């Protein structure tokens, strides 16, 4: 990756990478329609997609693989975007929705709802998830405001809030040991098993709107990256910009968590990869991170479906494995650079 | 899928004809079956059935019906030999009971799916997109509840009479086994639990095995209080708690040959002082049969185990 720091065509590097990732995503999603427990012929997939006569597998192609691929792309992209925003706002490369406690807050709220308000339809779970994420975020923010804590310490506060909420998640699982807790347990590992169009419809409007808003904020964030004083000097209203971007980040991650669970490391890994690929300017880095997160999650879900049928390996387990390996490599690489 | 509606006035003129037609239609068309999560149109004699819990295999095997797909946890030997004798081996594994593989289920082109209330409620609608799906409680409830669910499955399959006949024979066989052992077991307080390397889970008197043991004349070792929620039916128990319970007869369900917790406890005086251990009334059985395989055919297998255990009591 040494060339990442000395690009030959700095002006073109971002757009070209973005275009390549943008092309890779639909290709990967299309390829995923063929792979899985039941490998399908191209004819079968095309027949089902176009509603033509001949051999078809409508449920597998149209009700399972297609909505799952779209949902994986959307949720993976949202988590990555959230991570990129949080890293930028906290100016801390180790920050992510998981590290600052948002995932745990969303997970805790979803579990409370699932166990104690079982009548609530699954399509409404993004609401408590967003509230839980916002409450965790507000708690972290409140602690930070009180002590005028710098961004690095803010990560520690977030970690503490997240661990407390994780303990709450554990307590809920201990109190609810029956088979009715098996679905939440699978969901917690970050799984797209059993997900379909209804789940996609329940989160797509919010996620797409917030993603668009985040990309508009990206330009402002480029100024923020200079540091609060210099950005203020350039006319950026620090308080408002930060709050809006943080709100977007928190809700993006929480809503994604409400349908696909805690997908380990996507929010942490994608911004790093994006920065290495295209540099730190947010108007390029944010969409690159989002696309990379989408590619990663679609790839993990497809792989998880195809590795060892009839079992499904949760996408979250695969992203966590990849993420752990990536971070060990990153630490070693950073170490060498120093 | 509702039955075609014909102009009714014509039929009203000929009540006999109407009645005959209605009966003929009832025999040939889908029927509404009410179950735990709603009402489903089930084809009259489903032939390609996928079952997502073990107890549903038993209900099918009782009717000599072979499922095309079974959620066997990807371990074919969890399907009991007493079922395989009747359903053969020509079925496809659809993965775990927790997350059955929906693609494989769809590829089997089933005409009926039988799912569990607590495990599969989250994907009930998705399963319904694949095939008509009926949902029953497989995991809680006692022996009588299991019989009632089997009865409902018989009705759902359009084979209520066959199921009744089988249950009558089953009842008679169980009674014969009970008569064999009741003299030896009167008054003994018996406790069943599943043990592995991580823990011991005692099955309460209200559980499936608890109710079976009671029907064989054993007294319960655990108090009869408590709800019939999953956590109360199957209670994780420490050695101290077991010692306080002090059962006179202890049956431990084990899976495979792996190390189990009682081997560690063996050196502990607390374990040695448990009444059942002291008197040599400690028995090992298969947890796959006793704990996972709820059903009529398997209840007769468990009853045979109980008879063997009782024969050693004096």
Domains of chain A plus CATH, in order, are 81-175+192-330 (1.10.3470.10)
- Higher model confidence: residue A55 or residue A178? A55
Is B267 a member of any domain?
Answer: yes
- The pLDDT tens digits of the residues spanning B3-46 come to 443 334 444 444 444 444 444 444 445 789 999 999 999 998 89
With b meaning 16 or more CB within 10 Å and e meaning fewer, what string describes A240-270? ebbebbbebbbbbbbbbbbbbbbbbbbbbbb
**Partner B, chain A 121-140, Cβ-Cβ below 8 Å:** 122
Q: Are residues B37 and B106 in the same domain?
A: yes
Q: B135: buried, middle or exposed (CB in 10 Å: 19+, 13-18, 0-12)?
A: buried
Is B221 a member of any domain?
Answer: yes
Is B181 a member of any domain?
Answer: no
Q: Are residues B131 and B40 in the same domain?
A: yes
pLDDT, residue A92, reads 76
Residue ranges of chain B whose pLDDT lies below 50: 1-28
Is B246 a member of any domain?
Answer: yes
pLDDT, residue A242, reads 74
Q: Are residues B134 and B195 in the same domain?
A: no
Is B179 a member of any domain?
Answer: no
Q: What is the mean pLDDT of residues A219-230?
A: 66
Is B13 a member of any domain?
Answer: no
Q: Are residues B124 and B209 in the same domain?
A: no
Whole-number percent of chain A with pLDDT over 70: 87
Domain count, chain B: 2
Q: Are residues B190 and B133 in the same domain?
A: no
Residues with Cβ within 8 Å of A48's Cβ and at least 6 positions away in sequence, in order, are A56, A57, A58, A60, A61, A62
Predicted ipTM?
A: 0.85
Q: Are residues B73 and B190 in the same domain?
A: no
Q: Are residues B72 and B129 in the same domain?
A: yes
For residue B98, the SS3 value is coil
* Strands across the sheet containing B92-93: B92-93, B69-70, B49-51, B112-116, B133-136
How far is the alpha carbon of B106 from chain A, nearest alpha carbon, in Å?
7
How far is the alpha carbon of A183 from chain B, nearest alpha carbon, in Å?
7
Q: Are residues B226 and B301 in the same domain?
A: yes
Residue B303's domain is classified under what CATH number?
3.40.50.1980
Number of other residues whose CB lies within 10 A of the CB of residue A163: 12
Domain holding B83, by residue range, is 31-139
Q: Is the pLDDT of residue A91 over 90?
A: no
Tally of residues, chain A: 338
pLDDT, residue B147, reads 96
Domain end: B139, B170, B202, which one? B139
- Higher model confidence: residue B87 or residue A258? B87
For residue B285, the SS3 value is strand
d(CA A9, CA A13): 6
With b meaning 16 or more CB within 10 Å and e meaning fewer, what string describes B269-285? eebeebbbbeeebbbeb
Element (H, E) at B137: none
Q: What is the mean pLDDT of residues A210-217?
A: 89
Q: Are residues B109 and B207 in the same domain?
A: no
Task: Please judge whether B95 and A311 are an interchain contact, meaning their C-beta atoms are less than 8 angstroms apart.
Answer: yes
The answer, for A2 touching chain B at a CB cutoff of 8 Å, is no
d(CA A149, CA A153): 6
Is B252 a member of any domain?
Answer: yes
Contact B217, B182 (CB under 8 A): yes
Best mutation target, B117, B118, B126, to test chain A (most A CBs within 10 A): B126
Domain end: B122, B139, B156, which one? B139
Chain centroid to CA A320: 12
Q: List the beta strands (DSSP E) in chain A.
A: none
Q: Are residues B134 and B206 in the same domain?
A: no
Domain end: B104, B139, B174, which one? B139
pLDDT, residue A1, reads 42
- The pLDDT tens digits of the residues spanning B62-105 come to 999 999 999 999 999 999 999 999 999 999 999 999 999 999 99
Q: Are residues B194 and B306 in the same domain?
A: yes
pLDDT-derived band at A238 (thresholds 50, 70, 90) equals: low
Task: Please judge whether A310 and B99 are an interchain contact, meaning their C-beta atoms are less than 8 angstroms apart.
Answer: no
Radius of gyration of chain A (CA): 20
Q: Are residues B135 and B215 in the same domain?
A: no
């Amino acid at each position: 990756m040494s060339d990442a720091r000395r690009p030959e065509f700095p002006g073109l590097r971002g757009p070209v990478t973005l275009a390549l990732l943008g092309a890779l995503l639909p290709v990967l999603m299309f390829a995923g329609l063929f792979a899985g427990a039941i490998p399908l012929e191209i004819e079968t997939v095309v027949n089902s997609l176009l509603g033509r006569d001949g051999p078809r597998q409508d449920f597998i192609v149209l009700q399972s693989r297609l909505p799952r691929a779209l949902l994986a792309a959307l949720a993976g992209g949202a988590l990555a975007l959230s991570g990129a925003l949080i890293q930028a706002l906290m100016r801390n490369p180790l920050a992510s929705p998981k590290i600052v406690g948002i995932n745990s807050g969303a997970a805790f709220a979803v579990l409370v709802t699932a166990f104690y308000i079982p009548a609530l339809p699954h399509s409404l779970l993004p609401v408590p998830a967003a509230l839980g994420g916002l409450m965790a975020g507000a708690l972290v923010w409140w602690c930070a405001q009180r002590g005028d804590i710098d961004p690095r310490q803010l990560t520690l506060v977030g970690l503490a809030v997240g661990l407390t909420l994780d303990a709450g998640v554990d307590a809920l699982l201990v109190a609810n040991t029956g088979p009715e807790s098996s679905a939440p347990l699978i969901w917690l590992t970050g799984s797209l098993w059993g997900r379909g169009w209804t789940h996609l419809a329940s989160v797509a409007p919010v996620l797409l709107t917030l993603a668009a808003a985040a990309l508009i904020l990206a330009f402002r964030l480029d100024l923020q990256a200079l540091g609060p004083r210099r950005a203020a000097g350039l006319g950026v209203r620090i308080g408002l910009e930060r709050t809006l971007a943080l709100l977007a980040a928190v809700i993006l991650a929480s809503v994604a968590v409400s349908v696909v669970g805690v997908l380990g490391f996507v929010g942490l890994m994608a911004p790093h990869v994006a920065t290495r690929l295209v540099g730190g300017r947010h108007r390029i880095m944010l969409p690159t991170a989002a696309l990379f997160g989408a590619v990663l999650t679609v790839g993990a879900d497809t792989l998880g479906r195809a590795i060892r049928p009839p079992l499904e390996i949760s996408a979250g387990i695969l992203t966590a494995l990849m993420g752990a390996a990536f971070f060990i490599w990153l630490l070693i690489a950073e170490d060498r650079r120093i | 899928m509702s039955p075609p509606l014909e102009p009714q006035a014509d039929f009203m003129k000929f009540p006999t004809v109407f009645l005959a037609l209605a009966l003929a239609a009832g025999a040939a068309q889908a029927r509404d079956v009410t179950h735990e999560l709603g009402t489903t149109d089930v084809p009259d004699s489903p032939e390609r059935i996928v079952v997502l819990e073990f107890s549903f295999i038993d209900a099918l095997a009782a009717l000599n019906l072979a499922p095309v797909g079974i959620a066997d946890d990807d371990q074919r030997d969890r399907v009991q030999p007493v079922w395989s004798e009747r359903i053969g081996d020509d079925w496809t594994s659809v993965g775990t009971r927790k997350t059955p593989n929906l693609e494989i289920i769809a590829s089997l082109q089933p005409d009926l799916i039988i799912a569990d209330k607590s495990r599969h409620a989250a994907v009930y609608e998705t399963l319904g997109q694949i095939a008509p799906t009926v949902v029953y409680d497989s995991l809680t409830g006692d022996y009588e509840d299991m019989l009632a669910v089997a009865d409902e499955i018989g009705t759902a399959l359009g084979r209520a009479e066959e199921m009744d006949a089988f249950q009558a024979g089953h009842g008679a066989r169980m009674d014969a086994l009970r008569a064999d052992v009741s003299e030896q077991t009167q008054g003994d307080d018996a406790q069943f639990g599943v043990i592995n390397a991580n823990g011991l889970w005692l099955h309460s008197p209200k559980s499936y095995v608890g109710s079976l043991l009671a029907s064989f004349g054993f007294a319960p070792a655990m108090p009869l209080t408590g709800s019939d929620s999953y956590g109360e039916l199957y209670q994780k128990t420490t050695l101290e708690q077991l010692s306080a319970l002090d059962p006179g007869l202890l049956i431990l369900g084990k899976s495979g040959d792996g190390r189990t917790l009682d081997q560690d406890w063996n050196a502990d005086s607390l374990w040695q002082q448990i009444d059942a251990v002291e008197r040599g009334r400690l028995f090992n059985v298969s947890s796959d049969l006793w704990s996972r395989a709820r059903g009529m055919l398997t209840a007769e297998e468990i009853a045979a185990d109980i008879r063997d255990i009782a024969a050693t009591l004096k």
